[in-house]
Structure 1
Amino acid sequence: MTATPLPGGRLAAEIKAQVAALAEDWRRSGRQAVLAVVVATADESTLWYVRSLVAAADKTGIDCRLVDLGATATEPEIARHLDDLSADPQVHGILLQTPLPPGIAAARLVERIVPSKDVDGANPSSLGRLLVGQQAFAPATARAVVELLDYHQIPLAGRHMAVVGRSAVVGKPLLHLLLHRDATVTICHSASKPLARFTRPADIVAVAVGRPGLITADHIAPDTVVVDVGTNVAEDGRLVGDVDPDTVAPVAAGLTPVPGGVGSVTTALLLLHTLDAARASFARDAVAIS
Protein backbone atom coordinates (compact mmCIF):
# COMPACT_ATOMS: atom_id res chain seq x y z
CA MET A 1 0.00 0.00 0.00
CA THR A 2 1.21 3.48 -0.86
CA ALA A 3 -0.41 6.65 0.47
CA THR A 4 -2.48 8.66 -1.97
CA PRO A 5 -0.81 12.09 -2.35
CA LEU A 6 -2.99 14.95 -1.11
CA PRO A 7 -1.39 18.04 -2.67
CA GLY A 8 -2.69 21.54 -2.14
CA GLY A 9 -1.45 23.13 -5.35
CA ARG A 10 -4.67 22.92 -7.38
CA LEU A 11 -6.85 24.13 -4.52
CA ALA A 12 -4.45 27.01 -3.85
CA ALA A 13 -4.48 27.91 -7.55
CA GLU A 14 -8.30 27.99 -7.61
CA ILE A 15 -8.43 30.26 -4.56
CA LYS A 16 -5.77 32.57 -5.99
CA ALA A 17 -7.60 32.75 -9.32
CA GLN A 18 -10.74 33.84 -7.48
CA VAL A 19 -8.76 36.50 -5.63
CA ALA A 20 -6.99 37.71 -8.79
CA ALA A 21 -10.25 38.10 -10.75
CA LEU A 22 -11.85 40.39 -8.17
CA ALA A 23 -8.58 42.24 -7.51
CA GLU A 24 -8.39 43.03 -11.23
CA ASP A 25 -11.91 44.46 -11.18
CA TRP A 26 -10.98 46.63 -8.23
CA ARG A 27 -7.83 47.93 -9.87
CA ARG A 28 -9.91 49.21 -12.77
CA SER A 29 -11.84 51.35 -10.31
CA GLY A 30 -8.70 52.53 -8.54
CA ARG A 31 -8.96 50.27 -5.49
CA GLN A 32 -6.50 47.66 -4.22
CA ALA A 33 -6.50 45.28 -1.27
CA VAL A 34 -3.48 45.79 1.00
CA LEU A 35 -1.90 43.22 3.34
CA ALA A 36 0.78 44.28 5.83
CA VAL A 37 3.13 41.56 7.13
CA VAL A 38 5.11 42.47 10.24
CA VAL A 39 8.31 40.43 10.65
CA ALA A 40 10.82 40.55 13.52
CA THR A 41 12.96 37.44 13.11
CA ALA A 42 15.92 35.93 11.28
CA ASP A 43 14.38 32.45 11.32
CA GLU A 44 14.99 31.03 7.84
CA SER A 45 11.85 28.91 7.60
CA THR A 46 9.76 31.96 8.52
CA LEU A 47 11.54 34.17 6.00
CA TRP A 48 11.06 31.49 3.33
CA TYR A 49 7.33 31.53 3.99
CA VAL A 50 7.11 35.33 3.99
CA ARG A 51 8.90 35.50 0.65
CA SER A 52 6.44 33.02 -0.84
CA LEU A 53 3.52 35.03 0.54
CA VAL A 54 4.79 38.29 -0.95
CA ALA A 55 5.32 36.61 -4.32
CA ALA A 56 1.83 35.07 -4.28
CA ALA A 57 0.22 38.39 -3.36
CA ASP A 58 2.01 40.13 -6.21
CA LYS A 59 0.69 37.57 -8.70
CA THR A 60 -2.90 37.99 -7.52
CA GLY A 61 -2.89 41.78 -7.48
CA ILE A 62 -2.83 42.27 -3.72
CA ASP A 63 -0.37 44.83 -2.39
CA CYS A 64 1.66 42.94 0.24
CA ARG A 65 3.70 45.37 2.33
CA LEU A 66 6.54 43.77 4.26
CA VAL A 67 7.33 45.56 7.52
CA ASP A 68 10.70 44.03 8.43
CA LEU A 69 11.68 45.23 11.91
CA GLY A 70 14.67 42.91 12.28
CA ALA A 71 15.47 40.25 14.88
CA THR A 72 16.40 42.88 17.49
CA ALA A 73 13.03 44.67 17.46
CA THR A 74 11.55 45.53 20.85
CA GLU A 75 7.99 44.86 21.98
CA PRO A 76 7.05 48.57 22.11
CA GLU A 77 8.41 49.00 18.59
CA ILE A 78 6.34 46.12 17.23
CA ALA A 79 3.27 47.32 19.14
CA ARG A 80 3.62 50.81 17.67
CA HIS A 81 3.69 49.47 14.13
CA LEU A 82 0.66 47.27 14.76
CA ASP A 83 -1.25 50.24 16.18
CA ASP A 84 -0.34 52.38 13.18
CA LEU A 85 -1.37 49.68 10.72
CA SER A 86 -4.65 49.05 12.55
CA ALA A 87 -5.46 52.76 12.29
CA ASP A 88 -4.41 53.07 8.62
CA PRO A 89 -7.53 53.03 6.39
CA GLN A 90 -5.37 52.04 3.41
CA VAL A 91 -4.40 48.71 5.06
CA HIS A 92 -7.04 45.97 5.01
CA GLY A 93 -5.19 42.98 6.48
CA ILE A 94 -2.45 42.62 9.09
CA LEU A 95 -0.30 39.58 9.80
CA LEU A 96 2.18 39.40 12.69
CA GLN A 97 4.62 36.68 11.70
CA THR A 98 6.15 34.49 14.38
CA PRO A 99 8.57 33.66 15.91
CA LEU A 100 9.36 36.95 17.62
CA PRO A 101 12.57 38.00 19.40
CA PRO A 102 13.25 36.26 22.75
CA GLY A 103 11.18 37.57 25.63
CA ILE A 104 8.46 39.06 23.45
CA ALA A 105 5.03 37.46 23.80
CA ALA A 106 2.94 37.29 20.65
CA ALA A 107 -0.19 36.92 22.79
CA ARG A 108 0.12 40.51 23.98
CA LEU A 109 0.90 41.92 20.57
CA VAL A 110 -1.87 40.27 18.54
CA GLU A 111 -4.38 42.12 20.70
CA ARG A 112 -3.19 45.28 18.93
CA ILE A 113 -4.53 44.00 15.59
CA VAL A 114 -8.07 45.26 15.06
CA PRO A 115 -10.33 42.21 14.44
CA SER A 116 -11.60 43.54 11.10
CA LYS A 117 -8.00 43.33 9.79
CA ASP A 118 -7.03 40.19 11.69
CA VAL A 119 -6.77 38.00 8.57
CA ASP A 120 -4.93 35.20 10.38
CA GLY A 121 -7.35 35.00 13.31
CA ALA A 122 -4.71 35.77 15.93
CA ASN A 123 -6.56 38.28 18.12
CA PRO A 124 -8.24 36.60 21.13
CA SER A 125 -11.50 38.25 20.03
CA SER A 126 -11.28 36.41 16.70
CA LEU A 127 -10.50 33.12 18.40
CA GLY A 128 -13.37 33.60 20.85
CA ARG A 129 -15.84 34.18 18.04
CA LEU A 130 -14.52 31.12 16.25
CA LEU A 131 -15.03 29.04 19.39
CA VAL A 132 -18.75 29.86 19.57
CA GLY A 133 -19.30 29.63 15.83
CA GLN A 134 -19.62 33.35 15.10
CA GLN A 135 -18.24 35.16 12.06
CA ALA A 136 -14.48 35.72 12.28
CA PHE A 137 -11.33 35.08 10.30
CA ALA A 138 -10.06 31.63 11.25
CA PRO A 139 -6.28 31.14 11.47
CA ALA A 140 -5.39 30.43 7.87
CA THR A 141 -3.31 27.31 8.54
CA ALA A 142 -6.05 25.69 10.60
CA ARG A 143 -8.64 26.49 7.94
CA ALA A 144 -6.28 25.19 5.24
CA VAL A 145 -6.32 21.73 6.85
CA VAL A 146 -10.12 21.59 6.64
CA GLU A 147 -10.27 23.04 3.13
CA LEU A 148 -7.67 20.57 1.87
CA LEU A 149 -9.52 17.59 3.33
CA ASP A 150 -12.76 18.85 1.78
CA TYR A 151 -11.05 19.32 -1.58
CA HIS A 152 -9.86 15.73 -1.59
CA GLN A 153 -13.34 14.55 -0.54
CA ILE A 154 -12.28 13.18 2.82
CA PRO A 155 -15.33 13.31 5.10
CA LEU A 156 -15.08 14.78 8.58
CA ALA A 157 -18.48 14.21 10.15
CA GLY A 158 -18.40 11.24 12.47
CA ARG A 159 -14.66 10.67 11.93
CA HIS A 160 -12.05 10.53 14.67
CA MET A 161 -9.24 13.05 14.12
CA ALA A 162 -6.09 13.35 16.20
CA VAL A 163 -4.45 16.77 16.17
CA VAL A 164 -0.83 16.73 17.33
CA GLY A 165 0.02 20.20 18.65
CA ARG A 166 -2.04 22.61 20.74
CA SER A 167 -0.83 26.00 19.56
CA ALA A 168 -3.20 28.96 19.22
CA VAL A 169 -2.14 29.15 15.56
CA VAL A 170 -3.11 25.63 14.46
CA GLY A 171 -4.06 23.05 17.08
CA LYS A 172 -6.64 24.90 19.16
CA PRO A 173 -8.47 26.66 16.30
CA LEU A 174 -8.39 23.46 14.23
CA LEU A 175 -10.10 21.69 17.14
CA HIS A 176 -13.06 24.06 16.93
CA LEU A 177 -13.25 24.06 13.13
CA LEU A 178 -13.44 20.27 13.25
CA LEU A 179 -16.04 20.25 16.03
CA HIS A 180 -18.19 22.58 13.91
CA ARG A 181 -17.97 19.88 11.22
CA ASP A 182 -19.08 17.11 13.61
CA ALA A 183 -15.71 15.37 13.88
CA THR A 184 -14.56 13.74 17.12
CA VAL A 185 -11.23 15.30 18.03
CA THR A 186 -8.31 14.26 20.23
CA ILE A 187 -5.71 16.95 20.95
CA CYS A 188 -2.21 15.58 21.56
CA HIS A 189 0.73 17.45 23.09
CA SER A 190 4.03 16.91 24.85
CA ALA A 191 2.37 15.12 27.77
CA SER A 192 0.41 12.72 25.52
CA LYS A 193 2.62 9.68 26.01
CA PRO A 194 3.01 7.38 24.28
CA LEU A 195 1.87 9.45 21.32
CA ALA A 196 0.95 6.43 19.21
CA ARG A 197 -1.69 5.49 21.79
CA PHE A 198 -3.70 8.51 20.63
CA THR A 199 -2.81 8.70 16.95
CA ARG A 200 -3.10 5.06 15.86
CA PRO A 201 -6.87 4.79 16.53
CA ALA A 202 -7.59 7.97 14.55
CA ASP A 203 -9.05 8.06 11.05
CA ILE A 204 -7.14 11.30 10.33
CA VAL A 205 -3.98 12.64 11.94
CA ALA A 206 -2.88 16.26 11.59
CA VAL A 207 0.50 17.24 13.01
CA ALA A 208 1.72 20.80 13.63
CA VAL A 209 4.57 20.76 16.12
CA GLY A 210 7.70 21.89 14.29
CA ARG A 211 9.70 18.70 14.87
CA PRO A 212 10.99 17.02 11.69
CA GLY A 213 10.19 13.33 11.45
CA LEU A 214 8.04 13.26 14.60
CA ILE A 215 5.34 11.08 13.04
CA THR A 216 6.53 7.69 11.74
CA ALA A 217 4.81 4.50 10.63
CA ASP A 218 4.60 3.48 14.30
CA HIS A 219 2.13 6.32 14.93
CA ILE A 220 -0.49 5.46 12.33
CA ALA A 221 -2.75 2.65 11.16
CA PRO A 222 -2.93 1.47 7.54
CA ASP A 223 -6.15 3.34 6.77
CA THR A 224 -5.08 6.67 8.31
CA VAL A 225 -5.04 9.95 6.40
CA VAL A 226 -2.09 12.09 7.51
CA VAL A 227 -1.98 15.88 7.20
CA ASP A 228 1.52 17.31 7.68
CA VAL A 229 1.35 20.96 8.77
CA GLY A 230 5.01 21.18 9.78
CA THR A 231 7.40 23.58 8.08
CA ASN A 232 11.03 23.03 8.99
CA VAL A 233 14.28 23.83 7.22
CA ALA A 234 16.60 20.81 7.15
CA GLU A 235 20.36 21.07 7.43
CA ASP A 236 20.70 20.76 3.65
CA GLY A 237 18.24 23.65 3.14
CA ARG A 238 15.28 21.51 2.14
CA LEU A 239 11.83 22.29 3.51
CA VAL A 240 10.51 19.29 5.46
CA GLY A 241 7.46 18.59 7.58
CA ASP A 242 6.77 16.90 10.92
CA VAL A 243 6.07 13.55 9.22
CA ASP A 244 8.71 11.06 8.08
CA PRO A 245 7.37 10.40 4.56
CA ASP A 246 9.75 7.50 3.92
CA THR A 247 8.11 5.38 6.62
CA VAL A 248 4.60 6.85 6.62
CA ALA A 249 3.86 6.87 2.87
CA PRO A 250 4.04 3.06 2.52
CA VAL A 251 1.47 2.66 5.33
CA ALA A 252 -0.97 5.59 5.31
CA ALA A 253 -4.08 5.89 3.15
CA GLY A 254 -3.26 9.50 2.26
CA LEU A 255 -0.49 12.01 2.94
CA THR A 256 -0.07 15.72 2.28
CA PRO A 257 3.35 16.73 0.88
CA VAL A 258 5.78 19.29 2.28
CA PRO A 259 6.18 21.60 0.50
CA GLY A 260 3.12 21.78 -1.73
CA GLY A 261 0.47 20.74 0.77
CA VAL A 262 -1.12 22.72 3.60
CA GLY A 263 1.34 25.62 3.25
CA SER A 264 0.29 26.49 -0.29
CA VAL A 265 -3.38 26.56 0.74
CA THR A 266 -2.55 28.66 3.82
CA THR A 267 -0.98 31.32 1.62
CA ALA A 268 -3.97 31.37 -0.71
CA LEU A 269 -6.40 31.67 2.22
CA LEU A 270 -4.50 34.60 3.71
CA LEU A 271 -4.95 36.40 0.39
CA LEU A 272 -8.63 35.46 0.32
CA HIS A 273 -9.07 36.72 3.88
CA THR A 274 -7.36 39.98 2.90
CA LEU A 275 -9.74 40.28 -0.03
CA ASP A 276 -12.72 39.68 2.25
CA ALA A 277 -11.43 42.29 4.70
CA ALA A 278 -10.99 44.78 1.85
CA ARG A 279 -14.47 44.02 0.55
CA ALA A 280 -15.92 44.74 4.00
CA SER A 281 -13.89 47.95 4.24
CA PHE A 282 -15.03 49.15 0.81
CA ALA A 283 -18.64 48.37 1.79
CA ARG A 284 -18.31 50.42 4.99
CA ASP A 285 -16.83 53.30 3.01
CA ALA A 286 -19.73 53.18 0.55
CA VAL A 287 -22.26 53.31 3.39
CA ALA A 288 -20.40 56.22 5.01
CA ILE A 289 -20.38 58.18 1.75
CA SER A 290 -24.08 57.60 1.12
Structure 2
Amino acid sequence: MKLLHLSDIHMGSGFSHGRVNPETGLNTRLEDFVTTLSRCVDRAIAEPVDLVLFGGDAFPDATPPPFVQEAFANQFRRLADAQIPTVLLVGNHDQHAQGQGGASLCIYRTLGVPGFVVGDRLETHRIQTRNGPVQVVTLPWLTRSTLLTRPEAEGLSMGEVGQLLIDRLRVALEGEIRTLDPEVPAVLLAHLMADTARYGAERFLAVGKGFTVPLALLTRPCFDYVALGHVHRHQVLCQQPLVIYPGSIERVDFSDGEGRKGICSGGVGKGTNDL
Protein backbone atom coordinates (compact mmCIF):
# COMPACT_ATOMS: atom_id res chain seq x y z
CA MET A 1 0.00 0.00 0.00
CA LYS A 2 1.48 3.34 -1.07
CA LEU A 3 1.23 6.31 1.27
CA LEU A 4 2.10 9.97 0.96
CA HIS A 5 2.76 11.72 4.27
CA LEU A 6 3.01 15.51 4.51
CA SER A 7 2.52 17.96 7.31
CA ASP A 8 2.73 21.55 8.57
CA ILE A 9 1.68 23.37 5.42
CA HIS A 10 0.96 26.66 7.26
CA MET A 11 -0.58 28.14 4.13
CA GLY A 12 -0.91 31.89 4.54
CA SER A 13 2.31 32.33 6.52
CA GLY A 14 5.10 34.74 5.71
CA PHE A 15 3.11 37.45 3.94
CA SER A 16 5.48 40.06 5.38
CA HIS A 17 8.30 38.43 3.42
CA GLY A 18 6.46 38.66 0.10
CA ARG A 19 4.83 41.26 -2.10
CA VAL A 20 1.63 41.51 -4.09
CA ASN A 21 1.85 39.96 -7.55
CA PRO A 22 0.24 42.61 -9.80
CA GLU A 23 -0.92 39.95 -12.26
CA THR A 24 -2.79 37.79 -9.71
CA GLY A 25 -3.38 40.15 -6.80
CA LEU A 26 -1.99 37.48 -4.45
CA ASN A 27 0.96 37.68 -2.11
CA THR A 28 3.97 36.00 -3.67
CA ARG A 29 4.57 33.94 -0.53
CA LEU A 30 1.07 32.49 -0.80
CA GLU A 31 1.86 31.60 -4.40
CA ASP A 32 5.04 29.86 -3.18
CA PHE A 33 3.04 27.75 -0.74
CA VAL A 34 0.44 26.88 -3.39
CA THR A 35 3.16 25.87 -5.84
CA THR A 36 4.84 23.63 -3.28
CA LEU A 37 1.57 22.01 -2.19
CA SER A 38 0.62 21.43 -5.82
CA ARG A 39 3.87 19.51 -6.31
CA CYS A 40 2.97 17.28 -3.36
CA VAL A 41 -0.46 16.59 -4.85
CA ASP A 42 1.11 16.02 -8.28
CA ARG A 43 3.30 13.33 -6.72
CA ALA A 44 0.34 11.65 -5.03
CA ILE A 45 -1.65 11.51 -8.27
CA ALA A 46 1.27 10.53 -10.51
CA GLU A 47 2.39 7.47 -8.53
CA PRO A 48 -0.58 7.07 -7.67
CA VAL A 49 -0.65 6.58 -3.91
CA ASP A 50 -3.42 4.74 -2.10
CA LEU A 51 -3.71 7.13 0.83
CA VAL A 52 -2.60 10.66 1.77
CA LEU A 53 -1.87 11.46 5.41
CA PHE A 54 -1.75 15.11 6.48
CA GLY A 55 -0.17 15.57 9.91
CA GLY A 56 -1.78 18.88 10.87
CA ASP A 57 -1.27 22.67 10.82
CA ALA A 58 -2.93 23.57 7.54
CA PHE A 59 -2.86 27.31 8.27
CA PRO A 60 -1.22 29.70 10.75
CA ASP A 61 -4.44 29.76 12.79
CA ALA A 62 -7.97 28.31 12.90
CA THR A 63 -9.62 31.16 10.96
CA PRO A 64 -7.63 31.84 7.78
CA PRO A 65 -8.93 34.35 5.20
CA PRO A 66 -11.33 32.83 2.65
CA PHE A 67 -8.91 33.25 -0.25
CA VAL A 68 -6.26 31.24 1.66
CA GLN A 69 -8.79 28.51 2.47
CA GLU A 70 -9.78 28.43 -1.18
CA ALA A 71 -6.17 28.01 -2.30
CA PHE A 72 -5.76 25.10 0.13
CA ALA A 73 -9.07 23.49 -0.88
CA ASN A 74 -8.30 23.77 -4.61
CA GLN A 75 -5.26 21.53 -4.16
CA PHE A 76 -6.83 18.96 -1.85
CA ARG A 77 -9.91 18.77 -4.08
CA ARG A 78 -7.62 17.26 -6.72
CA LEU A 79 -7.10 14.27 -4.41
CA ALA A 80 -10.86 13.83 -4.09
CA ASP A 81 -11.19 14.05 -7.89
CA ALA A 82 -8.47 11.39 -8.22
CA GLN A 83 -10.35 9.20 -5.67
CA ILE A 84 -7.38 9.13 -3.29
CA PRO A 85 -8.56 8.86 0.34
CA THR A 86 -7.10 11.60 2.53
CA VAL A 87 -6.87 12.00 6.31
CA LEU A 88 -6.63 15.59 7.59
CA LEU A 89 -5.38 15.77 11.17
CA VAL A 90 -6.03 18.77 13.42
CA GLY A 91 -2.80 20.37 14.68
CA ASN A 92 -2.22 23.08 17.27
CA HIS A 93 -2.50 25.89 14.71
CA ASP A 94 -5.80 24.46 13.47
CA GLN A 95 -7.39 24.75 16.90
CA HIS A 96 -9.17 27.73 18.38
CA ALA A 97 -7.41 29.63 21.18
CA GLN A 98 -9.43 27.61 23.68
CA GLY A 99 -7.67 24.48 22.46
CA GLN A 100 -10.75 22.85 21.00
CA GLY A 101 -12.03 22.08 17.54
CA GLY A 102 -10.51 22.56 14.13
CA ALA A 103 -12.93 24.78 12.25
CA SER A 104 -10.67 25.30 9.26
CA LEU A 105 -10.52 21.54 8.60
CA CYS A 106 -13.84 20.28 9.99
CA ILE A 107 -15.64 21.97 7.10
CA TYR A 108 -14.48 19.05 4.94
CA ARG A 109 -16.41 16.63 7.15
CA THR A 110 -19.43 18.93 7.31
CA LEU A 111 -19.55 19.11 3.52
CA GLY A 112 -19.05 15.36 3.21
CA VAL A 113 -16.11 15.58 0.81
CA PRO A 114 -15.80 12.06 -0.65
CA GLY A 115 -12.85 10.11 0.72
CA PHE A 116 -11.86 12.79 3.25
CA VAL A 117 -11.51 11.99 6.94
CA VAL A 118 -10.95 14.73 9.55
CA GLY A 119 -9.07 13.66 12.67
CA ASP A 120 -10.11 16.01 15.46
CA ARG A 121 -10.22 13.36 18.19
CA LEU A 122 -8.49 10.14 19.19
CA GLU A 123 -10.30 7.70 16.96
CA THR A 124 -9.68 4.75 14.67
CA HIS A 125 -10.78 5.06 11.04
CA ARG A 126 -10.99 2.03 8.73
CA ILE A 127 -10.42 3.31 5.21
CA GLN A 128 -10.87 1.37 2.00
CA THR A 129 -8.16 2.07 -0.60
CA ARG A 130 -7.45 0.73 -4.08
CA ASN A 131 -5.17 -1.89 -2.54
CA GLY A 132 -7.33 -2.89 0.37
CA PRO A 133 -8.27 -1.56 3.80
CA VAL A 134 -6.06 0.37 6.21
CA GLN A 135 -6.64 1.42 9.82
CA VAL A 136 -5.64 4.97 10.76
CA VAL A 137 -5.63 6.01 14.40
CA THR A 138 -5.81 9.81 14.58
CA LEU A 139 -4.31 11.69 17.53
CA PRO A 140 -4.74 15.48 17.23
CA TRP A 141 -2.83 18.06 19.25
CA LEU A 142 -3.42 17.89 23.00
CA THR A 143 -2.73 20.63 25.56
CA ARG A 144 -2.60 20.77 29.33
CA SER A 145 -5.54 23.19 29.21
CA THR A 146 -7.83 20.21 28.62
CA LEU A 147 -7.25 19.30 32.28
CA LEU A 148 -6.46 22.59 34.01
CA THR A 149 -10.11 23.47 34.63
CA ARG A 150 -11.02 20.06 36.05
CA PRO A 151 -11.11 19.30 39.78
CA GLU A 152 -8.51 16.52 39.58
CA ALA A 153 -5.91 19.03 38.36
CA GLU A 154 -6.39 21.43 41.27
CA GLY A 155 -3.15 22.07 43.14
CA LEU A 156 -0.99 20.18 40.63
CA SER A 157 2.10 21.66 39.02
CA MET A 158 2.28 22.00 35.24
CA GLY A 159 4.59 19.00 35.14
CA GLU A 160 2.16 16.93 37.17
CA VAL A 161 -0.72 17.98 34.91
CA GLY A 162 1.33 16.93 31.90
CA GLN A 163 2.03 13.53 33.45
CA LEU A 164 -1.66 13.09 34.25
CA LEU A 165 -2.48 13.84 30.63
CA ILE A 166 0.13 11.35 29.41
CA ASP A 167 -1.34 8.69 31.72
CA ARG A 168 -4.82 9.34 30.32
CA LEU A 169 -3.49 9.29 26.78
CA ARG A 170 -1.81 5.93 27.41
CA VAL A 171 -5.09 4.41 28.59
CA ALA A 172 -7.12 5.93 25.73
CA LEU A 173 -4.59 4.85 23.09
CA GLU A 174 -4.55 1.33 24.50
CA GLY A 175 -8.32 1.27 24.09
CA GLU A 176 -7.99 2.09 20.38
CA ILE A 177 -5.20 -0.45 19.91
CA ARG A 178 -7.37 -3.23 21.30
CA THR A 179 -9.93 -2.61 18.55
CA LEU A 180 -7.40 -2.95 15.72
CA ASP A 181 -7.62 -5.86 13.30
CA PRO A 182 -4.15 -7.50 13.32
CA GLU A 183 -4.63 -8.64 9.73
CA VAL A 184 -5.05 -5.11 8.38
CA PRO A 185 -2.23 -2.51 8.12
CA ALA A 186 -2.42 0.08 10.90
CA VAL A 187 -1.05 3.62 10.98
CA LEU A 188 -0.86 6.11 13.83
CA LEU A 189 -1.25 9.71 12.61
CA ALA A 190 -0.39 12.15 15.41
CA HIS A 191 0.39 15.84 15.87
CA LEU A 192 2.70 16.09 18.86
CA MET A 193 6.17 16.79 20.19
CA ALA A 194 7.96 13.50 20.78
CA ASP A 195 10.46 13.56 23.63
CA THR A 196 13.38 12.50 21.40
CA ALA A 197 12.65 14.90 18.52
CA ARG A 198 14.85 17.85 17.59
CA TYR A 199 13.08 21.16 17.45
CA GLY A 200 12.49 23.20 14.30
CA ALA A 201 10.66 26.50 13.78
CA GLU A 202 7.65 25.24 15.77
CA ARG A 203 9.59 26.24 18.90
CA PHE A 204 8.79 29.86 17.98
CA LEU A 205 5.40 29.29 16.31
CA ALA A 206 3.49 27.34 18.97
CA VAL A 207 0.22 29.05 19.86
CA GLY A 208 -0.52 26.85 22.85
CA LYS A 209 1.60 25.30 25.56
CA GLY A 210 1.90 21.66 24.71
CA PHE A 211 3.98 18.92 26.26
CA THR A 212 6.26 16.17 25.06
CA VAL A 213 5.03 12.64 24.50
CA PRO A 214 7.34 9.69 25.22
CA LEU A 215 8.42 7.97 22.03
CA ALA A 216 7.87 4.62 23.77
CA LEU A 217 4.16 5.42 23.88
CA LEU A 218 4.07 5.54 20.06
CA THR A 219 6.36 2.67 19.05
CA ARG A 220 3.83 -0.09 19.43
CA PRO A 221 4.27 -3.28 17.36
CA CYS A 222 0.65 -3.04 16.16
CA PHE A 223 1.52 0.04 14.08
CA ASP A 224 3.09 -0.47 10.67
CA TYR A 225 3.87 3.23 10.39
CA VAL A 226 3.74 6.21 12.75
CA ALA A 227 3.15 9.44 10.82
CA LEU A 228 3.87 12.55 12.87
CA GLY A 229 3.31 16.27 12.47
CA HIS A 230 4.28 19.43 14.37
CA VAL A 231 8.09 19.46 14.06
CA HIS A 232 9.28 21.33 10.98
CA ARG A 233 12.60 19.49 10.76
CA HIS A 234 12.48 16.16 8.90
CA GLN A 235 13.64 13.28 11.08
CA VAL A 236 13.27 9.55 11.56
CA LEU A 237 12.80 8.75 15.25
CA CYS A 238 12.56 4.98 15.03
CA GLN A 239 13.00 2.25 12.42
CA GLN A 240 10.74 -0.45 13.88
CA PRO A 241 8.06 0.64 13.58
CA LEU A 242 9.01 3.50 11.33
CA VAL A 243 8.30 6.81 13.10
CA ILE A 244 8.75 9.89 10.91
CA TYR A 245 8.34 13.64 10.97
CA PRO A 246 8.28 14.64 7.27
CA GLY A 247 8.89 18.26 8.29
CA SER A 248 7.14 21.28 6.84
CA ILE A 249 6.78 21.62 3.08
CA GLU A 250 7.80 25.30 3.00
CA ARG A 251 9.78 27.71 5.16
CA VAL A 252 7.32 29.78 7.15
CA ASP A 253 9.87 32.46 8.13
CA PHE A 254 13.61 32.94 8.67
CA SER A 255 13.57 30.81 11.83
CA ASP A 256 12.63 27.89 9.57
CA GLY A 257 15.72 28.12 7.39
CA GLU A 258 17.55 24.93 8.33
CA GLY A 259 17.16 21.58 6.62
CA ARG A 260 15.51 20.34 3.46
CA LYS A 261 11.75 20.57 3.03
CA GLY A 262 9.54 17.91 1.55
CA ILE A 263 7.28 14.92 2.03
CA CYS A 264 7.56 11.17 2.65
CA SER A 265 6.25 8.66 0.15
CA GLY A 266 6.51 4.91 -0.12
CA GLY A 267 4.99 1.54 0.63
CA VAL A 268 3.64 0.20 3.91
CA GLY A 269 2.45 -3.31 4.70
CA LYS A 270 2.19 -5.72 7.60
CA GLY A 271 5.71 -5.86 9.03
CA THR A 272 7.39 -4.14 6.08
CA ASN A 273 7.78 -0.67 4.60
CA ASP A 274 9.99 1.28 2.22
CA LEU A 275 9.23 4.92 2.99
Q: TM-score, normalised by structure 1?
A: 0.33
Structure having the higher helix fraction is 1
- Structure with greater strand share of residues: 2
Q: Which has more radius of gyration? A: 1
